[in-house]
Structure 1
């Protein structure tokens, strides 16, 4: 047994435990009954009409089209849901028709399948939604090509599939459920996240800030011009207000920059202000989520006033931050009194690219991924090869429905190992349960076509209801849905159950084996992701110090863009470490403990930079020393990032010299910017210690 074997066994067992926990989880907060009923009604209408007016085979095609289009609308995307349904229906229809044309020619169909699977794999370059929906086009091609017999019937089936998606889109337009609900939730989560940060600062004045809710709210805020004219007034402006609270809260609480001791009446006043600000933010978040006017407790409003008996906080950074917090709270209360109706005028907004405008964006994304080291390209090659091999294997196996082997591969394979492994094991367990239950029902009740269709609609309704919960539950619903659909055509239940379980197991094992033979591990990329984060943090810090040294009209925008880049780099690092944590490979130079220490150092670097944001001056004379520090910081962090990629120790001597010169030329040497610079250098030194292996 090699040294890596115990680590691999531990990783696989940990992934299995995580799969069991997450796969069976049902989050009540994630349930959307009305939306699930609407999607199930779309499937029921198409299925019932085609079964009544057409044939069982045509009904199965229609049901698959409406089912897959409905699933597309549940994907995590800020695009309008009708657009997602129509785009999915178009892709499903085209893939099904081309599959029909070549279904009778095994070699040609396998070639088409490989090309289509490769394109579906590359679609992940445009984002997870495009990747998932494109995968469904391959799945539909595999399932429904066995139904028609002529080109005319193929066109008819393709049209019925498109009709299912069109009906889903129509139902969304005619029966909207909670308009702007997802965007309300995203904005409310951002405000609640800032409120939670304020409360954590009361107990830990140097607590880190989690930017994920604000990043999600920013994505949700991007709208088309047409949406901007109909956006509720309540969804305009609060995100920027939450961003302004962030540095002020941190600066007020920090004992070094704010200068407030950790105990005493001054700290008590700071804690009161933090608690009151959290109350205001929570009340605002609750009102936005529900679409009503906020109800802010009077006690919180009284706390957020200047004391009549004189200032509790002494003159200095903390008092300045407290006054800014009072002003921000007044802005929040004033904004809460504004009408919440839909605006009828065009307002500034984050622009969302139209559907035709997505083509050049997608082309650029594909070009970036056309390189051998790209996980997306490797996923596309892996998917194409394994789907083709799985189809050929299914044709050679005795069971009649061999297409379930490549179908399982399509549903399981993802660009990263963690999702592939977790979804593979979850799909097998869920499919066994769903197929067994559905097979038992068919055996005991022996329903005809219409009762089988009704049972299929019940399964798809449960699927839509539980879409945002565990994948085991989802797989069980899909397995039962397919069994009941095939029951409409008179499939023998014993053959259906045994075949589906066996072929699902083969497909899942094939997917895992393909990843082991042709992997795209995230673990070796940890140094690169850490270096990217360091570069982004360096640019953010340099932008803040430069804005402090030279206040100008464009300084705020410069800081904002650098902050967004730093957040994106941090999220990419966290995704990579999460995926690497379940991979059965060794760390290759960056252990889990050192990665955690390096992450802590960079989070601290971002936090102390944020402290200075609360003290950026509006107009002042240029600070030559701060400007030189900013000019030194960015190139030094860039060189340090290259050292990280080369597994070498970063050199912070230029930053140290610039800070010493700044301190020597400043009287007195205890300003806010100098304190932040000291803390920043400490964080950089901590990073060096974290990434330097012990001798």
Structure 2
């Protein structure tokens, strides 16, 4: 259980999250993409303004603005579909909200239900959570504009039209269409090149698997995307994933080249060549043009004039590394064969529905942080809207809209975004107010200023939430000013109700938190269990080598990487929280993570030596069963807060070693290193 939050802990956490929220990064989007998004808003806004007046223009502009915002979310799905999905969601939510708005109790019930659904949408990831939050925010604004049901239908229609305009612009004016996919794959190659260079000086250098995970996510495309995907994005990712264990195995003196002498010099030469080839691959992928590899790298891959320097398992690993590097180069110069898997299938809408339903069922419990977030959001947004209707303001919905947009499933993002929105609102209202007082622009000029503001928002969307909030505030003020909004009310209501909404969000998370700190044991247990499955899968590849066992090994590796990323994200969030877990000390968690990393690294070395076909090793199969079972029990013990006992693993290894079943000595050496890593995990947790 978490300890009582001391005052010092809250001060430290709030100070950290405040600094994070107010930070402005020097990062911008592509100017052409920002210009395209602003053009979509301009077409929707001025078209509706000319045909129907300021109120309808406001709806059209909001639909186009948020649909354009959707295309900038971190997603590898086609941009037009994100814009269309956002527009349809906005259109439906605003129309349903208007039908309920004449009856305040009914509207509050609909708002609570819609907010709960938006909070639950986080089961699908950050993109779906943010887009769902937008639908609630726009509902709160648009329901105040129409006066009749036909007008509400018209507003819903122009919102959808604004999104369709953005989608059409993305289709007819593609800007760096495959840029995100290129960057993900190129970053994976570049990170592996950096890893190879670091291995030359440190055989046990650490490796960040996040770029490989991002590359795999980017490789999942729809059949339509696969037909138009550039050749340099096909067939590289799987080779890069297989290169990592080969690099590590060659550099490790326990299973690869000797620690000193000619073998180590030869290993460094091969690692340098690998780094140069992978750097060239990264540049080729980014530019779409084949970048020639230095001749020195090719010469390094050739067998030395005096004959092979490496022997045994080190030579086997070197030959595998050379073969993989050659395949990378060939894949960049020529398209993949037709019989080679060309892409990982990305689920379409039909496939997403059952997957989403399953995710919702898994999270339909009080233990789920997403479910708790959904309940928290529904409660706070509904309360904020109720307060907004009671206070003597004409635009009290800004409190509910602020709460909806700043609340996230974790403490750090909620507080940092809340502070950023409060500051951004004050700054944005001040800037827009100064322009309005000085120039007193007519509606068409207000629309033009709104388009400029949203273009700047698109351009700086990656600069930080405070910068984005400031520009969006300027945009909304200019947009609402087209309909004769009184400036003094804008300042009073938007700043005042934003403060109310932000304070309600802060109070809700303080009174009913979902601390990542208390979930650290579960995350740690997940990684322990995943490490056990990965280690067992690599051993099974020797016990019963087959395509099935190799596929199981790759799947287990992906699970291990996912569990590792989840633990690291939870640990990073917990570091900003004002509570500490009583049962798991920070030093204990750090030692356990190091031990699990050793298990993962050793399993990777075993994978690097996995044969395509060889005589079965019954001892490896039996040892794999013990490793999987014991680490699974250790994971459950961590969840229950009980002592961890892993003595059965070294006992099982000793029986295997003494059995004399014909297992090659090199594999027994790998298994011995794995056993030492498992023993280290037991020591770190007790």
TM (normalized to structure 2)? Answer: 0.96
* 1:673 aligned residue: 667
Deviations along 1:20-65, one digit per CA (max 9) or x if unpaired, are 33xx11225xx21111111110000110111112111111111111
Task: Tell me which residue corresponds to 1:218.
Answer: 216
| Larger displacement relative to structure 2 (162-171 or 213-222) | 213-222
State which of 360, 377, 392 in structure 2 corresponds to 1:366: 360
8 Å CA contact 2:257, 2:263 repeated in 1 = no
- 1:156 deviates by 0.8
Q: Is the contact made by 2:231 and 2:332 (CA closer than 8 Å) also made in structure 1?
A: no
- State the alpha-carbon separation in 2 of the partners of residues 649 and 671 from structure 1: 34
Give me the whole-angstrom Cα distance separating, in 2, the residues matched to 1:431 and 1:3: 30
Residue 226 (structure 1) shift: 2.1
Q: Which residue of 1 aligns with 2:27?
A: 27
Does residue 1:268 correspond to 2:270, yes or no?
no
Partner secondary structure for residue 545 of structure 1? helix
1:332 and 2:334 aligned: no
- Distance in 2 (alpha carbons) for counterparts of 1:204 and 1:500: 56
Taking the TM superposition and a 5 Å limit, the aligned residue runs for 1:144-543 are: 144-261=142-259, 263-313=260-310, 315-338=311-334, 348-543=342-537
1:258 to partner: Cα distance: 1.2
Deviations 1:277-302 (A, max 9, x none): 01101111111111111221111111
2:128 maps to 130
Which one of the candidate residues 553, 558, 571 is aligned to 2:552?
558
Assess if the C-alpha contact under 8 Å between 2:517 and 2:579 holds in 1: yes
2-structure distance, mates of 1:386, 1:4 = 25
Q: Give the CA deviation at 1:666.
A: 4.5
Measure the CA separation in 1 of the matches of 2:365 and 2:684: 31
Structure 2 partner of 1:606: 600
For residue 18 of structure 1, the aligned residue among 17, 20, 24 is 20
Q: Which residue of 1 aligns with 2:584?
A: 590
- C-alpha distance in 2, partners of 1:12/1:463? 27
Match of 1:67 in 2: 65
Q: Secondary structure at the match of 1:652?
A: coil
Distance of aligned partners of 1:254 and 1:344 in 2 relative to their CA distance in 1, 3 Å threshold = closer
Cα contact 2:619–2:661 (8 A) shared by 1 = no
2-structure distance, mates of 1:120, 1:394: 20
* 2:350 match: secondary structure: coil
For residues 307 and 341 of structure 2, the distance between their equivalents in structure 1, rounded to whole angstroms, comes to 41
The structure-2 alpha-carbon separation of the partners of 1:345 and 1:44, relative to structure 1 and needing over 3 Å to count, comes to: farther
8 A contact 2:193–2:275 mirrored in 1: yes
- For 1:568 and 1:196, how far apart are their aligned partners in 2? 22
**Rounded Cα–Cα distance in structure 1 between residues aligned with 2:591 and 2:572:** 15
Q: Partners in 2 of 1:490 and 1:389 — Cα distance?
A: 29
Report the Cα distance in structure 2 between the residues aligned to 1:354 and 1:53, rounded to whole angstroms: 37
**1:236 to partner: Cα distance:** 1.2
Runs of 4 or more off by more than 6 Å in structure 1?
A: 343-346, 667-670
Give secondary structure in 2 for the equivalent of 1:566. Answer: helix
SS in 1 for 2:349: coil
Q: CA deviation at 1:144?
A: 1.4
Separation (CA, whole Å) in 2 of partners of 1:178 and 1:593 = 45
Deviation at 1:624, TM superposition (A): 2.5
| CA distance in 1 between partners of 2:621 and 2:355 (Å) | 37
> In the TM superposition, what are the counterparts of 1:41-52 in structure 2 within 5 Å?
41-52=39-50
Q: Alpha-carbon deviations, 1:267-325, whole Å to 9, x = none?
A: 22211211110110111111111111122111111112111222233x12222211221
2:547 alignment partner, SS class = coil
For the residues of structure 1 that align with 2:441 and 2:263, how far apart are their CA atoms?
75
Determine which of 100, 103, 111 is the counterpart of 2:101: 103
TM-score by length of 1: 0.95
Relative to structure 1, the CA distance from residue 55 to residue 154 in structure 2 (aligned partners, 3 Å threshold; closer, same or farther) is same
166-175 vs 3-12, greater mean Cα deviation? 3-12
Whole-Å separation in 2 of the counterparts to 1:149 and 1:618: 71
- Counterpart Cα distance in 2 of 1:452 and 1:160: 19
Q: What is the deviation of 1:346?
A: 9.7
Q: What is the distance in 1 between the residues matched to 2:287 and 2:68?
A: 26
The alpha-carbon deviation at position 3 of structure 1 amounts to 7.3
Residues 229 and 347, structure 1, Cα contact 8 Å, conserved in 2: no
**How much has 1:213 moved relative to structure 2?**
1.1
- Cα distance, 1:131 vs. partner? 1.2
Q: CA deviation at 1:179?
A: 2.5
Q: Is the 8 A contact 1:633 1:655 kept in 2?
A: yes
Matches within 5 A, 1:657-672: 657-666=651-660, 671-672=665-666
Q: C-alpha displacement at 1:644, in angstroms?
A: 1.0
